[in-house]
Structure 1
Amino acid sequence: MDAVLLVLTLLAGLLGAAAGLLLPRPAHRLSVEPEEPWRATAPDGAPLTGWIGPARTAHRGWYGPSTPVTVTVTALLCAALALSAGPVPELCVWLLIAPVLVLLALVDRAVKRLPDVLTLPLAAATAALLGLAALIPGARGSWIHALLGACALGGGYYVLFLVNPRGMGFGDVKLATSLGLALGWYGWGVLMLGALAGFVYSSLYGISLVAMGRATLKTALPFGPFMVAGACTGLLLGGFGA
């Protein structure tokens, strides 16, 4: 590993750790049922006046998803993305969307919901930022392929939603559009790999729960975390192979 890539990886990891420190509070506030307003208080009743800041109160301490876990996961993900992509324009896009993807996975895991307040801006921002990255010398992907990937993966999930709306939420369709943009940047091979990996991860997790007696074949599982994990797998392999 050369010095530039090493420094870039370390910086990306630090940025990811800083972002991960701030994720539990919005995860707590967004983890509500569709008909409920966003949470405005901490578990001890203390009012939350903003979305940014550590998830900690004076009386109850830390709340929401485990802060050490979110810090570690986001730091490792950002560092891995930097290591795989290297000093290219699209890396800025991956580092910006990675914490949002982790946040979406946290919320979906908690309440089986992917809020529009995250999925819709994520899709628009990913498309716009990749368009800018494509204009910068050194970019190793295609914006046209990214747009086609969004149509392909979003369309595919929409078909699955129409066929089985109980097993596939419309939030998954919206998230698939953003993931299709990112994966499509590297081409059809990475797109298919990232999409397939999500289904493989979900199946393996479901089988393990059934084997341990903690679920049945009819148990509904949040699919967002597996979509994110599969997409990140595709992005990592796409970066190394680009």
Structure 2
Amino acid sequence: MSGGVRFDARMVWPMPQLLVQWIAGADARSLVAGILLALALGLYLYNAGRLAVIDVRSHLLPNRILAPWSGAALVLLGAAALLAGEPRVLLRAVTGSAILFGAYLLLHLLAPSGMGLGDVKLAAVLGLYLGFVSYMHLLWASVLAFVIGALWTAVLLIARRLTLRSSVAFGPFMLVGAATALAIPG
């Protein structure tokens, strides 16, 4: 982009800072890239809230939410990256999606009762957002999800609200871990 705030794919900006930089950019392409990123983040927050409630109540992450979210996130994040003149960011987002999907699929295959296919599909969507920022964010989000999930489960076990045979919805922890990772530099 000429004249505007240039996104350097080698730098790792947290999404909120990147959003402000693009919207405050000096040219129309930067502004539109910022708006598209804002829409993608708004979509994240909206769907994260819906999915967290559904997953806690029913231990399901419905395809009717995940599939359209995945497509919309790909379009919004991809268009933002291309408008910013950074096709590498789009490639990294798609690769991040594949990496996180593959990692969670492996976990599902190793322990199907511990990791559902809804979690695997959610990982693909989250990988788009995390890969958009950096590959390191994939790792941080996953670590955060497991740590927060383990701590929460330990608290519930100590409070005797759960037993060792109880199941805990993991989707909300994935969403919180990813949101936290997206807000911090890598």
TM value normalised by structure 1: 0.61
Distance across 2 between alignment mates of 1:127 and 1:87? 21
Number of aligned positions between the proteins: 160
Structure 2 segments unaligned to the other structure (5+ residues): 1-13, 23-33
Distance across 2 between alignment mates of 1:187 and 1:83? 14
Which residue identity does 2:49 align to in structure 1? V
User: Does the CA-based 8 Å contact 2:130-2:138 persist in structure 1?
Assistant: yes
Cα 1:84/1:229, change in 2 over 3 Å: farther
Which residue identity does 1:211 align to in structure 2? I
Aligned to 2:111: 164
Higher relative contact order (CA 8 A, sep 6+): 2
Identity %, equivalent residues: 35
User: Does the CA-based 8 Å contact 1:142-1:185 persist in structure 2?
Assistant: yes
Cα 1:160/1:108, change in 2 over 3 Å: same
Tell me which stretches of 4 or more aligned residues in structure 1 moved more than 2 Å: 80-85, 87-92
Aligned to 1:147: 94
**Structure whose CA Rg is larger:** 1
User: Does the CA-based 8 Å contact 1:172-1:223 persist in structure 2?
Assistant: yes
Matches within 5 A, 1:195-210: 195-210=142-157
Distance across 1 between alignment mates of 2:118 and 2:176? 16
Distance across 2 between alignment mates of 1:134 and 1:160? 31
User: Does the CA-based 8 Å contact 1:146-1:184 persist in structure 2?
Assistant: yes
Distance across 1 between alignment mates of 2:56 and 2:15? 23
Aligned to 2:38: 91
Matched, 1:230 2:177: yes
Structure 1 segments unaligned to the other structure (5+ residues): 1-79
Which residue identity does 2:76 align to in structure 1? L
Which residue identity does 1:168 align to in structure 2? M
1:218 Cα deviation (Å)? 2.5
* Two-structure CA RMSD over aligned residues (Å): 2.1
User: Does the CA-based 8 Å contact 2:144-2:177 persist in structure 1?
Assistant: yes
TM value normalised by structure 2: 0.79
Aligned to 2:134: 187
Matched, 1:213 2:160: yes
Cα 1:209/1:85, change in 2 over 3 Å: same
User: Does the CA-based 8 Å contact 1:84-1:236 persist in structure 2?
Assistant: no
Distance across 2 between alignment mates of 1:233 and 1:84? 15
